[in-house]
Amino acid sequence: MVEEEGKTEELSVESELASTLKYLDLYLRQKTDLFIQHYLLEPFGFISKQLAVLSVLLALLASGTVIIVAGVILLLSTFVPLWASLLIVGAGVFICAAIIAQRLFSRNFVLDTPTVDEVKEHEWA
């Protein structure tokens, strides 16, 4: 009878170990699913929506720009020959592009990271 009690005790330890491993496996699967959902799927969904909106916006801006440039060329061609109005509008477009590019690429990006003194002051570390 002592041997039977020892066997039941071993079986209960084994069953506890099996249930613990089952719960650990379930926990790891849930954490992995949450990680995939929050750090992989949601950002890609957000980026894909933003890219769709951006592509529509760029198409509208490009078509509007082409229409305005054609209108300015035709307006200028009433005062000067067509070749001269094309040159004037082309030069204006290049000058505008140069100004925009200079403004975009001359800025230095500074991240809003706290300094060491701020971290010590607020005891974030």
> How confident is the model over 64-74, as pLDDT tens digits?
889 999 999 99
Task: Give dist(CA 60, CA 117) in Å, integer.
Answer: 48
State residue 1's pLDDT score: 45
pLDDT of 74-107, one tens digit each? Answer: 999 999 998 899 899 989 989 988 898 898 888 7
Instruction: Judge contact between 76 and 92, C-beta under 8 A.
Output: no
Task: Give dist(CA 82, CA 89) in Å, integer.
Answer: 11
Instruction: Judge contact between 72 and 89, C-beta under 8 A.
Output: yes
Tell whether the model's pLDDT for residue 120 goes beyond 70: yes
What pTM value is reported for the model? 0.48
Task: Give dist(CA 109, CA 99) in Å, integer.
Answer: 19
Instruction: Judge contact between 68 and 89, C-beta under 8 A.
Output: no
Lowest mean pLDDT among 3-7, 51-55, 58-62, 67-71: 3-7
State residue 7's pLDDT score: 54
Tell whether the model's pLDDT for residue 3 goes beyond 80: no
